[in-house]
Structure 1
């Protein structure tokens, strides 16, 4: 056997062992309850006994000081979904701080913010059931919310951005709008085979009845065409879908916040402005 053949065999051995190691590498363990949240006025960590998941799951709620605790005036709710590898505490203080600033500046109604823990689920299957059938009804029970589609919006980053689109299209009776930072219909490929395209057509009448609108923001280095197949469907159906592509932007939530926090919050305000007291 030649030296070249031995080197080739050695390379194949290394590649093979690397593949085996990757296959045997344990998946990232999900921590479903994370109570060590940052200290911030109005920010509270809570635990839900989830039948859907079969275990406890944490969530964070931020309430604005302007909230009417008497219940005479009902508050809209913003649900924010974290990205892969995050948890209920990941973006709670950062996003709630932006919402608080917008409320103080008169640029947003006194909205409650809710931060679920979706693990690594993509906000599908049992995690979807937990949010839709358990968490949202619990929030409406425990807080003076506007418990109707025009009083709820949902947004998020990465997996959470994709999850916001998924949940809002599949449950048009729950939300009047969704916003996505750095999300995608499919993280592999163009998304032209996404089941959400058929879902959008199926639920078009309900979406339009609730004056639903979608805002998707992607960087030019972060799947800039991620939602184009859905936008084409929305254009055909007459449903509003604004897409924004940011220059010199990769998959970084800080950059999205820095460049378009105001845009996202204005979008949410416009959707919630249709909600009555």
Structure 2
């Protein structure tokens, strides 16, 4: 009897100690350091690294810009712009070479309109708060000032992977006056839970008229092992509003950008090309 009583007392105490130890370990675990300026971008023709003195962030932040072959810097030709957002742990250099090279290939084939690609550094922000303000209030106006862009929603699309995919959808819904399309690879309303309580759901309803006026369309691509229902609640909101939302589920695919490139680059780039042509 005494042994049973002792066991009943020891087990909860051991559980409490283990819980406190785990919490302490989490508290002590260093957060991933964010390097805000990363000038070593891929050696791709037309790709340049730039630095923005951001008032929103309170420090410099890097971004990369790719201009298409034959880019007319004098402004006689105006170009649409794609903003591509990296995933958690990435930087402005992470995807700039790979994504811009895919766009360049499609332009050479005549399957994509000549376009500018911009790659912001979002740190680990989820593209919220100061980073959101940096992109919306500082970077987009800077790009429109410095480059020969079509500075209107019809000439601006946003896409990304993982945190960047979710961020692309988020920024497009919260700033519906800015974009005609958003594309997400491996994103979700929430990495935990169903996303039914996401603030983007009421925001989409509020933004509906502007999204409709800009002929906004959404493409979400997820692996069957990578939150394939990650945007289902948003799709349910968009459907009665008659805002197109194409959902693609890739078989045998986990959370790997290389696999998304291999298995659905054609789908994503065809979607972005169609929207930037106004089709």
User: In which range does the TM-score fall when normalised by the shorter chain?
Assistant: over 0.9
2:95 is equivalent to residue 97 of structure 1: no
Q: 2:150 aligns with which of 146, 149, 152?
A: 146
Q: 2:260 aligns with which of 233, 248, 256?
A: 256
Gaps of 5+ in 1: none
Report SS of the residue matched to 1:175.
coil
* Alignment size in residue pairs: 275
User: Which residue does the alignment assign to 1:266?
Assistant: 270
Report the Cα offset of residue 10 of structure 1: 6.4
2:15 is equivalent to residue 47 of structure 1: no
Q: 1:106 aligns with which of 93, 98, 110?
A: 110
Alpha-carbon separation, structure 2, partners of 1:10 and 1:266? 57
Q: 1:133 aligns with which of 121, 137, 143?
A: 137
2:197 is equivalent to residue 193 of structure 1: yes
User: Which residue does the alignment assign to 1:84?
Assistant: 88
TM (norm. structure 2) is 0.94
Alpha-carbon separation, structure 2, partners of 1:172 and 1:10? 52
Give deviations 1:178-226, integer Å, cap 9, x for gaps. 0000000111110111110111100101001000000000111101100
Deviates more, 1:11-20 or 1:226-235: 11-20
Alpha-carbon separation, structure 2, partners of 1:158 and 1:32? 19
Report the Cα offset of residue 29 of structure 1: 1.1
TM (norm. structure 1) is 0.95
Q: 2:127 aligns with which of 118, 123, 128?
A: 123
Alpha-carbon separation, structure 2, partners of 1:254 and 1:198? 33
Report SS of the residue matched to 2:240.
helix
CA RMSD of aligned residues (A): 1.8
Alpha-carbon separation, structure 2, partners of 1:237 and 1:116? 31
Alpha-carbon separation, structure 1, partners of 2:69 and 2:110? 14
Report the Cα offset of residue 20 of structure 1: 1.3
